[in-house]
Amino acid sequence: MSPSSTLEVSEAAQQGGPSDGTKKRSATFNAAIVRRALVDSVIKLSPRHMASNPVMFVVELGSVLTTFYLIRDFGSSSSSENVFALGVVIWLWFTVLFANFAEAVAEGRGKAQADTLRKTRAETVAYVQRGDDVVEVASSQLQLGDLCVVVAGQLIPGDGDIVDGIATVDESAITGESAPVIRESGGDRSSVTGGTRVLSDRIVVRITSRPGETFLDRMIALVEGASRQKTPNEIALDILLAGLTIIFMFTVVSLQPFSIYSGAPQSIIVLVALLVCLIPTTIGALLSAIGIAGMDRLVQRNVLAMSGRAVEAAGDVSTLLLDKTGTITFGNRRADVFVPMPNVEQHELAAAAMLSSLADETPEGRSIVELAETHYGQVAAEVPAADLVPFTAQTRMSGLDIEGRSIRKGAADSVRRWVESQGGTSPVELAPIVEAISKGGGTPLVVADGTRVLGVIHLKDVVKPGIAEKFVEMRKMGIRTVMITGDNPLTAAAIAAEAGVDDFLAEATPEDKMALIKKEQSGGHLVAMTGDGTNDAPALAQADVGVAMNSGTQAAKEAGNMVDLDSNPTKLIDIVEIGKQLLITRGSLTTFSITNDIAKFFAIIPAMFVGVFPALHTINIMHLSSPHSAILSAVIFNALIIVALIPLALRGVKFRAAGAASVLRRNLLIYGLGGFIIPFVGIKLIDMIITALGVK
Amino acid sequence: MSQNVIAVIVLIAMLVISTPLLGSYMAKVFTNKKAPGDRFFKPFERLVYRITGVNPEGEQRWTTYAISVLAFSLVSVLVLYGMQRLQAHLLFNPDHMANVPAPLSFNTAASFLTNTNWQNYAGEDTMSQFTQMAGLAVQNFVSAAAGIAVAVALIRGLTRNRSNTLGNFWVDLTRIVTRVLIPIAAIAAIILIAQGAVQNLHATHMITTVSGQSQGIPGGPVASQEVIKQLGTNGGGYFNANAGHPFESPTGLTNMLLNWLLLCIPFAMAWTFGKMAKDRKQGYAVLGAMGGLFLIGALLVMPLEAHGNIHITQAHVSQAITATSPGGNMEGKEIRNGPILSALFNSSSTSTSTGSINSANDSYTALGGGVILFNMMLGEISPGGTGSGLYGMLIMAMLAVFIAGLMVGRTPEYLGKKIQAAEMKLVVLYLLMVPFVILLFTAISVVMHSSLASIYNPGPHGLTEVTYAFTSASNNNGSAFAGLSGNTDWYNTTLGICMLVGRFALMVPVLAIAGSLGRKQKAPPTSGTLPTGTPLFALLLAGIAVIVVGLTYFPVLALGPIVESLVGKF
């Protein structure tokens, strides 16, 4: 077992991490972000930026075109024509600006965070070992393989592995978590991140990344969205949206000849207005904001996704490989029950068990005291002078000698031999009890007082509260959970049953894990897993979603496609939910955008032709007051709906763990039917307002 | 009225019976497993393979499959063209039909090749019996079979796991013709002949009518061609009056038989799909969407026609049911069919890319004609043509899956196959091609001086006529709204382009999608997978089809049929 101190610190970090992290980040909107976004939305009007978004690029071209016609015809048109044209032009520009604003706000939160991180990246001095000398080198001049000495109070100059020493490190600069963590050479907790501060002791770090390519640099690029590339699904959706835009361009362009044939040629401004209303501007405007916000939601939970692809894959995951220790159970075994021998009172056993553990600072020891207090009415008191007998690998027992009594607890064989050596005998009932506990996946600790065996402490792996419910949710979403453990199959089966996982892999070696991943993948499943050790690296790389613990080795962090800064493996479940939520938000807003068009048609088409075919007033089912107000209302609605949906795009559509069928029903009802109805109401309302304002 | 209701119920009952039977049978034919009738068909097929040098075990990649389809089509079009150009010198020409002029030969060859059967000629005074039998009827068989083959290749792509190949086009073509089309056509032809349809090789008889007029009574192998024209959703009539001609469809019974024939394979294909996917529910959902859209179309047109034309009523012309009239809008309809069964037939024929008619579309009520037009605009998926209906609907399903799949929080997949950027590109290409040619050529036609002259009825009705012509050609339907003189250079050329685009610019992307999906790993379904075998998905599928199409064509529909029905200006 690893030194208990390390475990404790990281455990504290796990418990405090997520909630603190979320609280610290800003709300959806704050003044600084909005101010910055307003400026950015104008800067983003540059055609080079717009060209990456075909839908909004068309809107921008339309805005330019209508502006040209507005200016050209301003002198020759009637005032009501001009008011109408000006209205359309202004609102078309707003449509583009709103889209840019959505993206800028989404980026804003990341940028604010990147600024904070940049401060951390300030130039530091590294003390590099060269032979027997230590020379000062600027951190930006470090080479791969340089050995740096870092002592308490100094910033670690670059990413690396500790090759010598042990130290407490403050990683709050990147994790937002103030509790220090322990890093030491060798093992799975050897990696340190540049920009974090050593609080105690002295370590020697071997630099593993070049300046400019460090974890911190990558993190800044990620949260800022600088290296953001479109994800596969985003590209596919872009193709669909571009396709719809082209189809509607056919529709609108061909409408002019039809209008001429029908004796009602249309102005360019009206045709552009129709085009912009038809093409999927709502989702086109919000698509990139949705993607950025999705990544940001992960960052808020202190998870860094190295690519958007991984976030999308998280939504598709159908098999979760979960390490037992730390994910499903608390890392340590805990006392569950005291089983007394015949003729021994419960409280006598409890008292002895507690006494033997008062000085035992291991988690097991503390859990025994806790159990005795909470369930057996014992009161811990100060122990007067007593001789502590520490645990050793030879005796496999610990305990104390006090007031003439010798109390011991330990492995069954050891304690029995000790009792017999004292001249006592172990009762026949002992063996079956010990065996039963072992079979059930627990660890029996036998307690003896001198020559008497008092009873057995049942230590067991305690499943984290709430985890079983999570697995039920996972199952509803169609995700199979597999527990990975080094335990023997018996123990593993018991814990698996208690936690409610679908399957388990016992006595797992890294090779077994790898084989399991490959088997699942060849069956068409997408696999997610967490890992921290160097021997996890191949499996992390093979998995579709590999979440490396920040406390883990560099190799693991390189291999995975996500890093959890809190090193909390349970977060894998959150990651899956965030991935799903991202896709759901895209799909829902696409549906909303498409169903919106029906109302817009009913607003605009009668307005265009009611002059030549008065009978078309029949399909003006919203009874919009005039052709101009009808078209302008549709354009205004089309622009305002973008703003109205920005919060939803950033927050994500509400996610509920349920089967696909019920999720589909629900979202179709809200975003399909809602998308059909809302514009009828919205356009009518806007029409009433602008008519009252005097648009004719 | 009750007679009509019974007829409609009988038709639906026939479809309910035939769809599973024919669907399951076809699934066996396409999977090359033991199929019924192997003892009879196998030796014949082996002979065909030996003569043509086809290795029946040799599977093709999508590219080879597509090249085979295109090569076969090229040869077909050349043979058919040559046959028309030389028919005066060939056999079976008792009426001494002259060689068909070059532009018309080309138009007809392209039209029958693409399963469109748009006819810029009247069969009885243009085509020799040899051209009809050995040219047009043969294309009726093989163009239908080619459509089915492409659909089957798509099913294979969707259902196979990590496979590079999609089957063998030549094997599929042979088996479809010999095991599906010929047996059904043979039986149906016998029924048709028994009911009085003409089937001979006689020349036209000249007779003197009671009123002393001289009339030509044509002969020819009519019944045999009539059945495959329906069964293969081709639609090109032996005579100009198509299924309204008593020699093609002599009785009410034959009218219903022909109506069933054109629906039976397209609906059964959905069942075949479910069978081959080893998940019947997938077939039910596609069938449900097809059937729902079909019924909506038919149930709209039938009452519209039965109710008559409101503007005629306003002109004090009675459209009531009397002893001698079935009532309703009877202009351009046969008394023996009446308005309801006429509407059912034409609605079926436009829902299926058949394009055969038993009444004149041009004379339908404005909205009735509009619905018939919309049936085609849907892209011929309700249930569409033989094969082409299914692949069109499956493309729609991929679109529906893409949007709805995201809504459940997974990257979209259909039958476990991920629909990604590569597939979406092809789906979008498929969706773009037909609206592009329809809107482009219609738009030019209604403003270009020379083409405007072809429109007999100016105003909204004229717009409908032109839109109808391009919609029919592009969707490979082939029915004409009439009222438009299509035998001009402009229309011959542009309609020809539309037919070729509507066939091959769709088939190639479909095969490319099949190839791409076939190579993919199949993901097993979980409760997190979008269920695509449910009534909700069928509804979604139909809804997406209507919305995507409706949005594209709404303006032109508004200016054509909708305005016409509101204004009464025609």
Average predicted confidence (pLDDT) for chain A: 86
User: Which chain B positions have a beta carbon within 8 Å of A523's beta carbon?
Assistant: 524
- Best interface-test mutation with B: which of A480, A589, A613 has the largest number of B CBs within 10 A? A613
Beta pairing class for A181-184 and B205-208:
unpaired
DSSP output for A68-124: HHHHHHTTTS-HHHHHHHHHHHHHHHHHHHHHHHHHHHHHHHHHHHHHHHHHHT---
Task: Give chain B's length.
Answer: 570
| Cβ–Cβ < 8 Å for A210, B398 | no
Does residue B471 sit at the A interface (CB-CB below 8 Å)?
no
- Amino acid letter, residue B197: A
- The DSSP element (H or E) to which B228 belongs, if any, is helix B222-231
Instruction: Give the residue carrying structure tokens 């039977």.
Output: B21
- Best interface-test mutation with A: which of B161, B455, B559, B562 has the largest number of A CBs within 10 A? B559
Residue A411 burial (CB < 10 Å; 0-12/13-18/19+)? middle
CB contact under 8 A, A663 and B444: no
- Amino acid letter, residue B359: S
Q: Please give the pLDDT value at position A15.
A: 38
Q: Please give the pLDDT value at position A141.
A: 85
Distance (Å, rounded) from C-alpha A321 to C-alpha A327?
A: 10
Query: Token pair for residue B525?
Result: 């379904």
User: Which chain B positions have a beta carbon within 8 Å of A259's beta carbon?
Assistant: 559
Question: What is the mean pLDDT of the segment spanning A661-687?
Answer: 95
Q: Please give the pLDDT value at position B309.
A: 78
Which pLDDT band, with edges at 50, 70 and 90, does A386 fall under?
confident
Q: Please give the pLDDT value at position B195.
A: 94
Half-sphere exposure of B93 (CA within 13 A, CB side): 18
Which of B406, B440, B536 is the closest to A584 by Cβ? B406
- The DSSP element (H or E) to which B149 belongs, if any, is helix B138-159
Q: With CA atoms as reference, report the closest residue to A605 among A593, A617, A594.
A: A617
Does residue B405 sit at the A interface (CB-CB below 8 Å)?
yes
Which residue of chain A has the CA closest to B437? A250
Q: What is the DSSP letter of B204?
A: P
Task: Using the predicted structure, report yes or no on whether residue A534 has a pLDDT greater than 80.
Answer: no
Which pLDDT band, with edges at 50, 70 and 90, does A384 fall under?
low
A401 is annotated as an active-site residue:
no
| Cβ–Cβ < 8 Å for A184, A133 | no
CB contact under 8 A, A583 and B559: no
User: Which chain B positions have a beta carbon within 8 Å of A524's beta carbon?
Assistant: 416, 521-524
Query: Token pair for residue B448?
Result: 């270009």
Does residue B523 sit at the A interface (CB-CB below 8 Å)?
yes
Residue B60 burial (CB < 10 Å; 0-12/13-18/19+)? buried
Which of B421, B536, B548 is the closest to A236 by Cβ? B421
Q: Within the 479-498 window of chain B, which residues sit less than 8 Å (CB to CB) from chain A?
A: none
Kindly report, residue by residue over B515-557, the tens digit of the pLDDT.
999 999 999 888 888 999 999 999 999 999 999 888 899 999 9
Which residue of chain A has the CA closest to B552? A251
Task: Using the predicted structure, report yes or no on whether residue B29 has a pLDDT greater than 90.
Answer: yes
Which residue of chain B has the CA closest to A230? B421
Question: What is the mean pLDDT of the segment spanning A151-167?
Answer: 87
Does residue B449 sit at the A interface (CB-CB below 8 Å)?
no
Question: What is the mean pLDDT of the segment spanning B76-104?
Answer: 92
- Best interface-test mutation with B: which of A55, A237, A252, A258 has the largest number of B CBs within 10 A? A258
Q: What is the CB neighbour count within 10 angstroms for residue A385?
A: 6
| Cβ–Cβ < 8 Å for A175, A302 | yes
Distance (Å) from the C-alpha of residue B152 to the closest C-alpha of chain A? Answer: 24
Q: Please give the pLDDT value at position B186.
A: 96
Could you report how far apart the first and last alpha carbons of chain B are, in Å?
A: 29
Contacts for B225 with CB less than 8 Å, ≥ 6 apart: B132, B133, B136, B137, B140, B238
Torsion of CA A369, A375, A376, A380, to 10 degrees: 30
Q: What is the DSSP letter of B359?
A: B
Distance (Å, rounded) from C-alpha A233 to C-alpha B401?
A: 13
Q: What are phi and psi of B216, to 5 degrees?
A: -95, 130
CB contact under 8 A, B409 and A315: yes
Kindly report, residue by residue over A622-660, the tens digit of the pLDDT.
999 999 999 999 999 999 999 999 999 999 998 888 889
| Cβ–Cβ < 8 Å for A72, A263 | no
| Cβ–Cβ < 8 Å for B398, B520 | no
Q: What is the CB neighbour count within 10 angstroms for residue B363?
A: 18
Torsion of CA A460, A466, A470, A471, to 10 degrees: 30
DSSP output for A117-144: HHHHT---EEEEEETTEEEEEEGGG--T
Q: In chain A, pLDDT over 90 holds for what percent of residues? A: 38
Contacts for A191 with CB less than 8 Å, ≥ 6 apart: A159, A160, A161, A162, A183, A551, A552, A553, A554, A557
- What ipTM goes with this model? 0.94
Task: Give chain A's length.
Answer: 696
Q: What is the CB neighbour count within 10 angstroms for residue A298?
A: 24
CB contact under 8 A, B407 and A597: no
Which of B420, B528, B563 is the closest to A613 by Cβ? B563
Question: What is the mean pLDDT of the segment spanning B280-292?
Answer: 96
Does residue B404 sit at the A interface (CB-CB below 8 Å)?
yes
Q: Please give the pLDDT value at position A655.
A: 83
CB contact under 8 A, B424 and A240: yes
> Which SS3 state, helix, strand or coil, does residue B441 take?
helix
Task: Using the predicted structure, report yes or no on whether residue B116 has a pLDDT greater than 80.
Answer: yes
Q: Which long-range contacts (CB under 8 A, 24 or more apart) does A354-362 make?
A: A354/A378, A354/A380, A355/A383, A355/A400, A355/A402, A355/A407, A356/A398, A356/A399, A356/A400, A356/A407, A356/A408, A356/A409, A356/A447, A357/A409, A358/A383, A358/A400, A359/A383, A359/A386, A359/A388, A359/A400, A360/A398, A361/A4, A362/A4, A362/A332
Which of B407, B550, B566 is the closest to A591 by Cβ? B407
Average predicted confidence (pLDDT) for chain B: 92
Q: Please give the pLDDT value at position A385.
A: 67
Kindly report, residue by residue over B294-350, the tens digit of the pLDDT.
999 999 999 999 888 777 777 787 788 877 777 788 888 888 888 899 999 999 999
Q: Give CA A276 to chain center in angstroms.
A: 35
Which residue of chain B has the CA closest to A655? B409
Does residue B106 sit at the A interface (CB-CB below 8 Å)?
no
Kindly report, residue by residue over B187-243, the tens digit of the pLDDT.
999 999 999 999 998 888 888 988 888 888 888 899 999 999 999 999 888 888 888
Which of A251, A591, A595 is the closest to B555 by Cβ? A251
Distance (Å, rounded) from C-alpha A197 to C-alpha A347?
A: 49
Which pLDDT band, with edges at 50, 70 and 90, does B569 fall under?
very low
Kindly report, residue by residue over B404-461, the tens digit of the pLDDT.
999 999 889 999 999 999 999 999 999 999 999 999 999 999 999 888 888 888 889 9
| Residue B383: cis peptide before it, omega within 30 degrees of 0 | yes
Which of B399, B447, B529 is the closest to A260 by Cβ? B447
Q: Please give the pLDDT value at position B113.
A: 94
Which pLDDT band, with edges at 50, 70 and 90, does A273 fall under?
very high
User: Which chain A positions have a beta carbon within 8 Å of B443's beta carbon?
Assistant: 253-254, 256-258
Q: Please give the pLDDT value at position A400.
A: 84
Distance (Å, rounded) from C-alpha A52 to C-alpha A63?
A: 17
- The DSSP element (H or E) to which A181 belongs, if any, is strand A181-184
Which pLDDT band, with edges at 50, 70 and 90, does B91 fall under?
confident
Tally: H helices and E strands in chain B: 22, 4
Which of B411, B435, B548 is the closest to A312 by Cβ? B411
CB contact under 8 A, A667 and B403: no
- The DSSP element (H or E) to which A461 belongs, if any, is strand A452-463
Question: What is the mean pLDDT of the segment spanning A435-452?
Answer: 86
DSSP output for A320-344: EEEEIIIIIEEEEEEEEEEEEPTT-
DSSP output for A655-678: -----HHHHHHHHIIIIIIHHHHH
User: Which chain A positions have a beta carbon within 8 Å of B403's beta carbon?
Assistant: 240, 587, 590-591, 594
Contacts for B334 with CB less than 8 Å, ≥ 6 apart: B244, B342, B358, B359
A80 versus A90: which is more confidently predicted?
A: A90
CB contact under 8 A, B566 and A479: no
Does residue B556 sit at the A interface (CB-CB below 8 Å)?
yes
Which residue of chain A has the CA closest to B440? A254
Does residue B567 sit at the A interface (CB-CB below 8 Å)?
yes
Question: What is the mean pLDDT of the segment spanning A162-189?
Answer: 80
Given A40, A146, A323, A536, which residue is catalytic?
A: A323
A246 versus B219: which is more confidently predicted?
A: A246
